[in-house]
Amino acid sequence: MEQLLNEIRIHYIDSSVNELLAGADNGHNAPYSMRFNQGEEYFVELGSAVVVPHLPIHHDVRNPVPNAPYISSVRDIVKQLIEALPEAFNGLTYFFDPAEILKPCFYRMFKVDEDVYLYLLRLDLLPRPLDSDILEAGTNDRTPAYATKKLYLESELIPLEAVMWESGRVRAFRIRQLISQTWIGETGKGYLVRGIWMDTDLSKFFTKLFLLPGKRIYPYYPLFCKYKTVCATIPLLSPEGRRSMVPLLHYAVKRLSPEIEKIQNVLRDADFSESLPEFSQLRASIPETWKTHLNSFSVNAYLNAREQKEYALDYADIKTR
If DSSP codes are grouped into helix, strand and coil, which group holds residue 54? Answer: coil
Q: 137-158: buried (b, 16+ CB within 10 Å) or exposed (e) per residue?
A: eeeeebbbbbebbbbbbbbbbb
Report the mean per-residue pLDDT for the chain: 92
Contacts of 107 (CB under 8 A, 6+ apart): 92, 93, 95, 118, 119, 120, 121
Compute the C-alpha angle 143/144/148, nearest 5°.
110
Query: How remote is the C-alpha of 61 from its chain's centroid?
Result: 22
Cα 254 to its chain centre, rounded Å, is 21
Query: What pLDDT does residue 190 have?
Result: 57
pLDDT at position 21, please? 96
pLDDT band at residue 255 using 50, 70 and 90 as cut-offs: very high
Question: Strand, coil or helix: what is 45?
Answer: strand
What is the pLDDT averaged over residues 255-270? 94
Least confident residue range of 148-162, 185-199, 219-233, 288-302: 185-199
Residue 270 gets which letter from DSSP?
Answer: S
Q: What is the pLDDT of residue 3?
A: 44
Instruction: Name the pTM for this structure.
Output: 0.93
Name which residue leads in pLDDT, 89 or 193: 89
Min mean pLDDT across 58-62, 147-151, 241-245, 297-301 is at 58-62
The residue among 32, 47, 154 whose CA lies nearest residue 103 is 154
Where does the pLDDT of residue 160 fall: very low under 50, low under 70, confident under 90, or very high at 90 and above?
Answer: very high
Give tens-digit pLDDT for 87-99: 999 999 999 999 9
Return all residues near 152 (Cβ < 8 A) that are at least 6 apart: 41, 42, 43, 123, 124, 126, 128
Q: Please state the rounded mean pLDDT for residues 198-206.
A: 95
Cβ(135)–Cβ(145) below 8 Å: yes
**With 70 as the cut, is the pLDDT of residue 320 above it?**
no
- Least confident range from 43-47, 160-164, 185-189, 285-289: namely 185-189
| Rounded-to-integer distance, Cα 284 and Cα 295, Å | 17
d(CA 209, CA 244): 18
pLDDT band at 170 (very low <50, low <70, confident <90, very high): very high
Instruction: Give dist(CA 127, CA 289) in Å, integer.
Output: 42
Segment 250-277 mean pLDDT = 95
